Amino acid sequence: MNAVRLPATRSSETRIVPMSRRHIPRAVELETQAYPRGWSRSVFRSELDQVGRGGRRYLAAVDGRRLVGYAGLWVVAGTGGSEAHITNVVVDPDRRRCGVATRLLIALAREARASGVTGWTLEVRASATGAQDLYRKFGFAPAGVRKAYYEQGEDAVVMWCHSIGDDGYDHLLNQLELEEQGA
């Protein structure tokens, strides 16, 4: 008999906290559910070691002590301002469509703005149209394609948002947060 999947609830019980090494074992499990070849423990360790001086930021979404999602950013200083690359966003399959990724991205965007980031970018699988919809809500638009970027030859869509440093972007984040709280 198939397991009964209970309807997900919105993410109001979920807290956004800095990601730490104790989140890694569950993060590796979530990686294997999200990707054909997900990040290993050592990749997570290396990324978390670069928080701060290496320009990385990682946030975790937790229900109580249980990790239900995480997202990361790599801030790179440029001449006309800093750029940020979203390195990863994953949410527990049982907690998807509850606004967890939205809350993680709002928090990351605020950290990026506080660091003087003027543009942020990411690569996303061409087939991940739901994820692309999520990023569109944050002002990202497709800017190009990297052919056969992923395993099994799947293309990556490169998306950019150049308005993250604008005053209006703060309004967008507040609006998304209000929608999330009201959902």
Ligand X SMILES: CC(C)(COP(=O)(O)OP(=O)(O)OC[C@H]1O[C@@H](n2cnc3c(N)ncnc32)[C@H](O)[C@@H]1OP(=O)(O)O)[C@@H](O)C(=O)NCCC(=O)NCCS
Comparison of 81 and 132: residue with beta carbon closer to ligand X = 132
Q: Which long-range contacts (CB under 8 A, 24 or more apart) does 18-24 make?
A: 18/51, 18/58, 18/59, 18/60, 19/48, 19/58, 19/59, 19/60, 19/70, 19/72, 20/48, 20/60, 21/45, 21/48, 23/60, 23/62, 23/67, 23/70, 24/48
Residue with smallest beta-carbon separation from ligand X: 130
| Residue with smaller CB distance to ligand X, 32 or 81 | 32
Residue 100 binds to ligand X (criterion: CB under 6 A): yes
Number of residues lying near ligand X (CB under 6 A): 19
The answer to whether 15 contacts ligand X (rule: CB under 6 A) is: no
Burial (CB count within 10 angstroms: exposed 0-12, middle 13-18, buried 19+), residue 175: exposed
Interacting span for ligand X (CB under 6 A) from 21-29, 40-48, 98-106, 110-118: 98-106
11-42 burial: b if 16+ Cβ within 10 Å, else e: beebebeebeeebbebbbebbeebeeebbeee
Q: Is 139 in the site for ligand X (CB under 6 A)?
A: no
Q: Which residue number, 52 or 87, has a Cβ lying nearer to ligand X?
A: 87
Write the binding mask 34 to 73 for ligand X: x where contact by CB under 6 A, - elsewhere: x---------------------------------------
Member of 23, 72, 102, 169 binding ligand X (CB under 6 A): 102
Task: Give the binding site for ligand X (CB under 6 A).
Answer: 34, 89-91, 96-102, 122, 124, 128, 130-131, 133-134, 137
